[in-house]
Amino acid sequence: MDLYVGESQRATNARDRRLLRDRRRGGPGGRRPRRPGGAAAGVFHVGPVAETGPQQWRDMFAVNVIGLLVVTRAALPHLRRGTAPAVVTISSMSGRRVPTAAGGVYSATKHAVHAIGDGLRLELRDERVRVTTIAPGFVRTAILDDWPDGPLRDRYSERMDSVGLDPDTVADAVVHVLGLPAGVAVAEYAGTAVCQ
């Protein structure tokens, strides 16, 4: 589960987007916004249903779905006091389709993230809280680090290395949607490497 909550400001060009990103990170030339927040976590136990078990399924749903709900619920009072509140959830292209049998349960959690984003958008629209679900393809992260050695891990690692997006690309997508005018909501932002 990845979630970014916070206030946005207009970012009209590359310099403005860098400034907004720096401000979000508290980096050079920026100060942190008054009400930023964020959480990032994700669990992907690989394997078809016949080769995985209830504890692995529970782990994925606990982090990828319940974790998203818990963090979002805790952030809502702060968002409601914001001047340009937004919720950005990071799902996956696996939340739009099931790419392999080995990723079916993970895809189910990401489909849930999409449904939660759609539900939140409907729930919060009258309060002017923007909700966006970002669905990247492969991203070069450490999500495979806990996988057991073997051909499945090798195949996913090779695929991630060859077509995986840089995590900064996903961060840029977040900056983009948060930089849009406060009255503009992007329901879903899906993207992959051209070669994926």
* Dihedral-angle region of residue 89 (phi above 0 means left; psi in -120 to 50 means alpha; beta otherwise): beta
Alpha-carbon distance of 96 to 117, in angstroms, equals 13
Task: Tell whether the torsion through CA atoms of 144, 145, 147 and 149 is positive or negative.
Answer: positive
Name the DSSP class of 183.
T
Task: Record the tokens describing residue 188, joined without a space.
Answer: 């879903």
DSSP 3-state assignment of 135?
strand
**Is the Cβ–Cβ distance between 37 and 6 less than 8 Å?**
yes
Q: Could you list the active site residues?
A: 106
**Is the Cβ–Cβ distance between 33 and 24 less than 8 Å?**
yes
**Is the Cβ–Cβ distance between 136 and 90 less than 8 Å?**
yes
